[in-house]
Amino acid sequence: MSEVDLAFDEQDLLPAVAQDAESGEVVMLAYASEEALERTRETGFAHYYSRSRDELWKKGGSSGHVQRVEEVRVDCDGDALLYLVDQEGGACHTGYRSCFHRTVDGEVVGEKVFDPDDVYE
């Protein structure tokens, strides 16, 4: 079986959507470098590339709220990834289960599952 060609952008990154494998809920969007994708596939835990910190990171490395990756899919153009995950705790650093916890009007529609002040120091 051959691997698909991936179309990394100018920064050598691909957008990576993390979706709860059981419920189908989209829990976050991040970016993956080639190394992040390799680490994800090697370890079974979601790895991403932080554009703001300019470094590779394992989701849950500081919070403990890891994403176990059941499958990695690629879109038809090879320029986006979908991580099907088992999300432990909250995906969002603000304490919500999903990073998509607000409507465009600012209404909170998501569930807060932890207090970030207790997790991040």
> Where along the chain do its domains lie?
14-113
| pLDDT for res 51 | 94
Q: In whole numbers, what is the pLDDT of the chain averaged over residues?
A: 95
Residues in the chain, total: 121
Within 8 A by CB and 6+ apart from 85, the residues are 18, 19, 20, 21, 27, 46, 67, 68, 69, 70
pLDDT in tens, 19-57: 999 999 999 999 999 999 999 999 999 999 999 999 999
Average pLDDT of span 95-121: 94
Q: What is the pTM of this model?
A: 0.93
Was domain 14-113 assigned CATH 3.10.20.810? yes
16 beta partners: 30, 81
* Predicted confidence (pLDDT) at residue 76 exceeds the cutoff of 50: yes
Question: Looking at the predicted structure, is the pLDDT value of residue 3 above 90?
Answer: no
Here the tokens at position 42 are: 């090697």
